[in-house]
Amino acid sequence: MERIPILKLGEFLLVSIQVDMHDQLAISLQDDLTAKIVATSAKGVLIDISALDIVDSFIGRMLGNIAGMSRILDAETVVVGMQPSVAITLVELGLSLPGIRTAFNIDRGMDLLRDSVAERQENQRVLNEPD
Amino acid sequence: MFVFSLKQPLFARIRNEFPDDAQRLADETWRATLLIDRLGLETTTAFIKSREEIIRRQQQELLEISTPVVRLWEGILALPLIGTLDSSRMQIVMQNLLEAIVSQSATIAIIDITGVPTVDTLAAQHLLKTVAAARLMGADCIISGIRPQIAQTIIHLGVDLTAVITKATLADAFQIALRRLQNKTVTLKNTESV
């Protein structure tokens, strides 16, 4: 059975979707990704959907779910490289994915993740500091 | 219609041809009338068709030129909207904006509605949709040029624009966009130097 590869990139995970998503694939991705986040204690997840031309409401919801699960597991999700047609479809379906952060390409997504991780560490430090 | 001006000389001619045959005269006149009526109908149809063609073409052109996407700065796009915002126009606006975001890899898009006379619930909803779609592609949207009356209508209609950054003028929006970009470049430079 085909699977979507999940690559470890420092403290982040990179998921690059290069094939047409179908429902079973999305479900297995969800399983794999959550397992991998726990195994690697990743701080962020980058999902690259620049090769994705078609989404339906199920895949849209799945993206939202994956982001929600990652957040619970203490990893920020950034969806990068969405095609205009996909963006229009998602909005028309009423799925504007409010919980997900987005970026134009992998590069900017990476910057976004780094910033947010740095910010989180800063907050952590401030909290831990005995004043 | 100039076709009907044929009637007078034609009838005169027929009258001259058959001065003493009343039955024939009536028949011929009737046939000529039918013919001219048909001619008139044809010309009218052709005329209307060509005029509609012109109207359609102009409408299309208007649609295309009325939704320009302007590049203000590296990574900043402006979308000055002029005229009423109906469904078909907003569709084109959304498409143009998203394509421009891709081609110029923009991070901030300013939608300027100074030239929009009225905003109804449908237009506001379309605006929100456009903003949401741009956000999905990783670009922030700022809505600017909201005139006092429009601000009042939006609130009276109960449209929720709190999720979107709104500014009164394009200048304000541009300023905030530049500041955001600057912040980004500054932080990038800092990380490089460290």
Choosing among B93, B96, B129, B137, which should be mutated to test the A contact, i.e. which has the most A CBs within 10 A? B137
HSE toward the beta carbon, residue B187, CA cutoff 13 A:
13
Please tell me which of the candidates A96, A104, A115 has its beta carbon nearest to residue B107. A104
Spell out which residues of chain A touch residue B101, defining contact as CB-CB under 8 Å.
Answer: 84, 104
Q: Report pLDDT for B51.
A: 95
Share of chain B above pLDDT 90, in %: 26
Query: Same domain, yes or no, for B31 and B119?
Result: no
Number of domains in chain B: 2
Query: Same domain, yes or no, for B143 and B161?
Result: yes
Choosing among A79, A90, A96, A97, which should be mutated to test the B contact, i.e. which has the most B CBs within 10 A? A96
Q: The domain that contains A109 carries what CATH number?
A: 3.30.750.24
Question: Does A102 reach chain B within 8 Å, measured CB to CB?
Answer: yes
Query: Same domain, yes or no, for B176 and B131?
Result: yes
Answer whether residue A57 shows pLDDT above 90: no
Range of the domain at B16: 2-62
Spell out which residues of chain A touch residue B187, defining contact as CB-CB under 8 Å.
Answer: 115
Answer whether residue A65 shows pLDDT above 80: yes
Query: Same domain, yes or no, for B19 and B108?
Result: no
Query: Same domain, yes or no, for B118 and B146?
Result: yes
Spell out which residues of chain B touch residue A121, defining contact as CB-CB under 8 Å.
Answer: none
Name the band, by pLDDT with cuts 50, 70 and 90, for residue A67: confident
- Is B138 in Cβ contact with A102 (below 8 Å)? yes
DSSP A104: S
Q: Which of B12, B43, B62 is the last residue of a domain?
A: B62
Is A48 inside any structural domain? yes
Query: Same domain, yes or no, for B75 and B55?
Result: no
Is A1 inside any structural domain? no
Query: Same domain, yes or no, for B75 and B148?
Result: yes
Q: Report pLDDT for B119.
A: 84
Could you tell me the two tokens for A84? 């205009």
Mean pLDDT rounded to a whole number for chain A:
87
Under 8 Å between Cβ of B143 and B113: yes
Query: Same domain, yes or no, for B25 and B42?
Result: yes
Query: Same domain, yes or no, for B174 and B85?
Result: yes
Question: Does A129 reach chain B within 8 Å, measured CB to CB?
Answer: no
How long is chain A? 131
Number of domains in chain A: 1
Answer whether residue B128 shows pLDDT above 60: yes
Answer whether residue B23 shows pLDDT above 60: yes
Answer whether residue B96 shows pLDDT above 80: yes
Chain centre distance of CA B64: 7
Answer whether residue B192 shows pLDDT above 70: no
Choosing among A48, A93, A104, which should be mutated to test the B contact, i.e. which has the most B CBs within 10 A? A104
- Is A105 in Cβ contact with B133 (below 8 Å)? no
Share of chain A above pLDDT 90, in %: 21
Please tell me which of the candidates A102, A111, A114 has its beta carbon nearest to residue B137. A102
Name the band, by pLDDT with cuts 50, 70 and 90, for residue B78: very high
Q: Report pLDDT for A122.
A: 86
Q: The domain that contains B157 carries what CATH number?
A: 3.30.750.24
- Is B133 in Cβ contact with A90 (below 8 Å)? yes
| Main-chain dihedrals φ then ψ at residue B52, nearest 5 degrees | -65, -40
Range of the domain at A64: 6-128
- Is A80 in Cβ contact with B138 (below 8 Å)? yes
Spell out which residues of chain A touch residue B137, defining contact as CB-CB under 8 Å.
Answer: 82, 84, 87, 102, 104
Q: Report pLDDT for B155.
A: 87
Spell out which residues of chain B touch residue A102, defining contact as CB-CB under 8 Å.
Answer: 135-138
Question: Which residue type is seen at A4?
Answer: I
Query: Following CA atoms A67, A69, A74, A75 in sequence, which dihedral angle do they give, to the nearest 10 degrees?
Result: -30
Quick: pLDDT tens for A87-103.
988 888 888 888 788 99
Q: Report pLDDT for B52.
A: 96
Answer whether residue B73 shows pLDDT above 90: no
Quick: pLDDT tens for B32-62.
889 999 999 999 999 999 999 999 998 888 7
The torsion region of residue B24 among left (phi > 0), alpha (psi -120 to 50) and beta comes to: alpha
Number of H helices, E strands in chain B: 6, 5
Searching chain B, which residue's CA lies closest to the CA of residue A60?
B136
Pick the more confident residue, B3 or B146.
Answer: B146
Name the band, by pLDDT with cuts 50, 70 and 90, for residue B76: very high
